[in-house]
Structures are given as C-alpha cells and as structure tokens.
Amino acid sequence: MHHNGRMLGVIGGSGFYTFFESGTRDVDVDTPYGRPSAPVTLGTVGGREVAFLPRHGATHEFSAHTVPYRANMWALRKLGVRRVFGPCAAGSLDPANGPGAVVVPDQLVDRTSGRADTYFDSGAVHVDFADPYCPTLRASIKGVTGLPDVVDGGTMVVIQGPRFSTRAESRWFAAAGFGLVNMTGYPEAVLARELEICYAAIALVTDLDAGVTAGEGVKAVDVFAQFQRNMGPFKELVRAAIGRVTDERTCTHCRPHTGVTLPVNLP
C-alpha cells in the first residue's frame, strides 16, 4: 500500500477501460462498501505513480446507476491516492461544443435518485460542496496545449440513467443554462470531497443531446463509437494533465474536515 499522498488516480468512463501501455500490476482492494468496479491497476505515467480504475468495470458490467461509487473512491484512498481525474463521456447541451469537444466543468447539478452518496450515515457531518471540483486539478487540465482544445467551465447535469434524456428534458436543462449531460458525475465528486480527495471531471462530448437539434435523438451505439474515435487523443490529454500536477499536494479547497470529528475513520 502507498501512503505518501503522491499517487494520482484516474477513473475511466465508458470505453476508457485501460490506461497504461506496460509495467503494471493489479491490486484487489476490499472496502467496507464492497469491492470496487474492478481490480485497481497500478502503473506509471511520465515517472508518476498512477492508480487506474475503470468506472463501469473491465467490460462495462456496471451501468451508471449500479456503479459501486463508494467502494471505488474508498479503494483509491486506501491505496494512498489523494488526487483523482475523472474522465467521462457526456452529451452536450450547447451546439458550440459538439462531438469531440473536451470540457472541464466547474459546476454540477444532481438529478439522480436512490444512489448511496455519502460515507456519513451518522454523525451529522456536512460537507462544503459549493464548488464541487478541485481548482488545482482543473488548472492542470486547462493548461494542456497541443492536444484537443479544452473548454474551461460549464455546468454538468447528472441524470439517473440508464436511459437518455427526453427532448423536453434536454430543452429544460439547456434553458436552465446547463452545458453537459452525464450519468456518472454524481455521487463520484461528492464522495471524493468527503474523503478529502481532490477531484476534477474531464468530459469528452460524444453527442448533442436530444433536445438540442432536430434528429433521431441519442443512441448508445453512436455514443460509444464517438468515444472510441476520440479515445487516443483523450488519453493523451489525461496523461499530459498528470504531467502538470505537482509532486506535493498543495490544495486546501478539498479538505473540508478541519476541526470536525468524523463518524468513520478514513483509510
């Protein structure tokens, strides 16, 4: 187990099931919340220790509403990870950001239901979540050059899934000023905050959502195909962002428990 806090984490989304080229080892991690989506793969990127976990499992066994989010984030922290990138697929509510665009959201809206979204079922612990993403990790992504242009900021609305939005829902979300639709961004982000893990989402746009333009609507086969077409450059962008992260963690934004007695012992 690594506990120096320097290991970085990557949680890969739909189609993002592997990350390293060679020199890896898999680690089975058990947690109080069950087993994570898959064994955690440990490797290096540019000399940096990285732990990779496919969000949906090695072969996409878990749909968005069944992902073991609590086990996933707990397992990474148990291995010593304190900073996590969360690449994901997303639909766009803005025609200016079409398929292939990469967006680093700065806000989210939760429209999920019934998901286990806290480690604190007792103790009345309240976590600051006004700004759900780590500004330091977001800056490392925004500074990447020579790869797909990165759109800075935007609100990602997280829906329950596994179905896609109706046209009316898409129009409603767009009218509210949201820029992206996704199914996995919550509770992943808030669980990271509860564990005092820095977390930043990186959204690869795979489609324009159903209510944005006239057409047949969103189809899963098209979403996966678009994600695969952009997977190479997308992984390179994540690797480049890792290379911009400092060895020592300096962020204080993602440490909300100062002076608070927690009802559970964090790993």
> Which pTM does this prediction carry?
0.92
Q: According to the model, what pLDDT value does residue 200 have? A: 98
Q: Which pLDDT does position 230 carry in this prediction?
A: 77
Active-site position among 106, 152, 209, 222: 209
Distances (CA, A) of 205 to 96, 179, 199, 210: 11, 10, 19, 13
1 labelled ligand-binding: no
Question: What is the structure's pLDDT at 22?
Answer: 82
**CB-side neighbour CA atoms (13 Å) of 115:** 27
Q: Bridge-partner residues for 87, per DSSP? A: 202
CA distances, 253 to each of 31, 47, 137, 193, 250 (Å)? 26, 26, 11, 9, 9
- Tens digits of residue pLDDT in 81-105: 999 999 999 999 998 998 889 999 9
Q: Is 55 a known ligand-binding residue?
A: yes
207 in active site: yes
207 carries a ligand binding annotation: yes
183 is known to lie in a ligand binding site = yes
* Contact by Cβ (8 Å): 244, 85: no
In angstroms, the Cα distances linking 86 to 15, 33, 221 are 13, 20, 22
What's the rounded mean pLDDT across residues 158-182? Answer: 94
**Active-site residue, from 131, 149, 207, 247:** 207
**Is the bond preceding 187 in cis, omega lying within 30 degrees of 0?**
yes
Residue tagged 């992902």 (tokens): 67
56 annotated as ligand-binding: yes
d(CA 104, CA 87): 9
Q: Cα separation of 223 and 21, whole Å? A: 25
> Mean of the per-residue pLDDT values for the chain?
91
The pLDDT of residue 216 is above 60: no
Residue 102 near residue 151 (C-beta atoms within 8 A): yes
pLDDT tens per residue across span 234-252: 999 999 999 999 999 999 9
Residue 191: its H or E element: helix 185-194
Interatomic CA distance for residues 12 and 169, integer angstroms: 27
- Mean pLDDT, residues 179-189: 97
Active site residue 131: no
Does residue 217 carry a pLDDT above 80?
no
Q: Is 65 annotated as a binding residue?
A: no
Q: Is the pLDDT of residue 41 over 70?
A: yes
The tokens for 179 are 């820029």
